[in-house]
Structure 1
Amino acid sequence: MNTKVEQPKGSNAADIGKLVLAGLVLAAGIFAYSWFNNDPNVPSAVRLIGVLVALVVSLAIAATTGLGRRVRDFLGESQFEMRKVVWPTREETLKTTGIIMVVVVILSLLLGLIDLILKSVVLDWLLKLGS
């Protein structure tokens, strides 16, 4: 049971302003990347670094909002839950894969046999009775 107190879902004007600012910073980075696309004096690596810097800055701005805190909390709780997962060993994975492959082959043969029987019933018996 989760004992944390639920936080209000609404966002205030400061959070909205920060998210808009983060979007503008990211849009400016993308715009600068495309603006300097044809400039031979600006290497493509510098343009790419500019977009990455704009992305990091916009994520940092967005992380200070209420939504950003909730996302960080969610990611932290997800990492905590991932530590509880018991992953299968290589041997268990190979055995399970083999079993699944055998079942798939058996079921495909069974469905093919059913299809063959239904085809012969419909084409050979029912259509010949009607003529």
Structure 2
Amino acid sequence: MNAKVEKAGASNALDVVKLVLAGALLVAGLVAYYYFADWNGWARLGMLAVGVIAAAAVGAFTGVGRTVREYITESQFELRKVVWPTMDETLRTTLVIVVVVIILSLLLGLIDLLLKWAVLDHLLKIGR
């Protein structure tokens, strides 16, 4: 767990300007993509990609962007701690699950047949 002290107060005014600029770049990329509809599809896609990348680059240097980068870095660090199962363990676990599912489906099918036999074939015919 992280025991970092968080800064008190609202976002910096410069961060707000950067976020607005990032939003404007993203919107500009989208507008360019639809405005130049008669262009080649790859050129339009390239303009959209430039808008998205530029918006991400500007947004990365804000307080929110630093927080996201820190979160991704810490997530990657935690993922390195995970002990992944080997191929043999995965296959054995999968086989156990398949066998259990087959056994349970057979048991439930047998219970269904017994209940059908008891209710439909015997109980409902008693009053006739």
Of the structure 1 ranges 19-28 and 93-102, higher mean CA displacement relative to structure 2 is found in: 19-28
Structure 2: where are the runs of 5+ without partners? none
* TM-score under structure 2 length normalisation: 0.87
How big is each residue's C-alpha offset from its partner over 1:104-123, in whole Å with a ceiling of 9 and x where there is no partner? 11111111111222222221
Q: How does 1:15-26 map to 2 (within 5 A)?
A: 15-26=15-26
1:110 matches 2:107: yes
What is the aligned partner in structure 2 of residue 35 from structure 1? 35
d(CA) in 1 for partners of 2:98, 2:31: 50
d(CA) in 1 for partners of 2:64, 2:127: 69
Change (3 A) 1:63 1:123: same
What is the aligned partner in structure 1 of residue 64 from structure 2? 67
What is the deviation of 1:58? 0.4
d(CA) in 1 for partners of 2:10, 2:79: 29
Q: How does 1:5-16 map to 2 (within 5 A)?
A: 5-8=5-8, 10-16=10-16
Secondary structure of 1:85's counterpart equals coil
Q: Which amino acid aligns with 1:62?
A: G
* TM-score under structure 1 length normalisation: 0.85
What is the deviation of 1:125? 2.9
Quick one: which of 54, 61, 84 aligns to 2:81?
A: 84
Quick one: which of 92, 95, 98 aligns to 1:98?
A: 95
Q: Which amino acid aligns with 1:58?
A: A
| RMSD value, Cα | 1.9
Change (3 A) 1:6 1:124: farther
What is the aligned partner in structure 2 of residue 48 from structure 1? 45
Q: Which amino acid aligns with 2:11?
A: S
Structure 1: where are the runs of 5+ without partners? none
- Counting matched residue pairs gives 128
